[in-house]
Amino acid sequence: MMPLFVFLGILAALVLWFVSIYNGLVRLRNVVDNAWAQIDVQLKRRHDLIPNLIETVKGYVGHERGTLEAVTKARTDAMRAQGPAEAGHAEAALTGALRGLMVNVERYPDLKASANFLALQEELSSTENKISFARQAYNDSVTRYNIQIQSIPANLVAGPAGFSKRELFELTDEAERAVPQVKF
């Protein structure tokens, strides 16, 4: 009878250990999902600001159609991006298009003095900072999650339970890593 109780005790300890590790992995996975959702919120805010910025600029720089179309296309591509890698590439293209727009704005003193444009430019700058912080929080969460699922003993539970490595939100080009600088 005693060996049965020892066996049941060991079995109960193993089940509790498995449940504890599994619940910890679920918690980390949800933290990662939440961090990605925060990036998504800030990117949506950025995408929503861009049409207002384009409309404001359009009145002043109507003949710069190519630049405005490039920003609009890049915004559309960024809104369709799925996952961190695709979103990173699309957002980098959008940042480049916005840089091109801001370079063209330099030639229009009336536009640079417009209250609407200045307010939109400030909102865009603020949003860029929020995106940067959200990316950092996401990457921190992914790193903690990936370390946990790859470390012993959690990796003994993670593989069979279907937990897989997540991608970091990375920008591959050094120029893409720079925060856009808008000078007036």
What's the pLDDT at 61?
66
What's the pLDDT at 8?
92
| Domain-located, residue 94 | yes
| Domain-located, residue 43 | yes
- Residue 115 corresponds to which tokens in the numbers above? 């209250």
| Domain-located, residue 44 | yes
Residue from 31, 78, 70, 33 nearest 54 by CA? 70
CATH number of the domain where residue 124 is located: 1.20.1440.20
Helix, strand, coil percentages in the chain from 3-state DSSP, rounded to 5:
80, 0, 20
What's the pLDDT at 184?
41
Identify which has the larger pLDDT, 62 or 153: 153
Q: What is the pLDDT of residues 77-110, one digit of tens each?
A: 999 988 888 888 888 888 888 888 887 777 777 7
User: Could you tell me the residue range of the domain that residue 159 belongs to?
Assistant: 25-177
What's the pLDDT at 62?
64
What's the pLDDT at 110?
72
What's the pLDDT at 161?
92
Residue from 181, 174, 91 nearest 134 by CA? 91
Q: What mean pLDDT is predicted for residues 16-26?
A: 94
pTM of the full structure: 0.73
| Domain-located, residue 120 | yes
What's the pLDDT at 173?
56
Residue from 129, 123, 132, 130 nearest 49 by CA? 123
Q: What mean pLDDT is predicted for residues 29-44?
A: 92
Q: What mean pLDDT is predicted for residues 31-52?
A: 90
Q: What is the count of structural domains for the chain?
A: 1
| Domain-located, residue 138 | yes
C-alpha neighbours within 13 Å on the C-beta side of residue 144: 16
Q: Look at residue 179 and tell me whether its pLDDT is greater than 70.
A: no
| Domain-located, residue 9 | no
What's the pLDDT at 143?
95
| Domain-located, residue 183 | no
Q: How far out from the chain centre does Cα 45 lie?
A: 12
| Domain-located, residue 8 | no
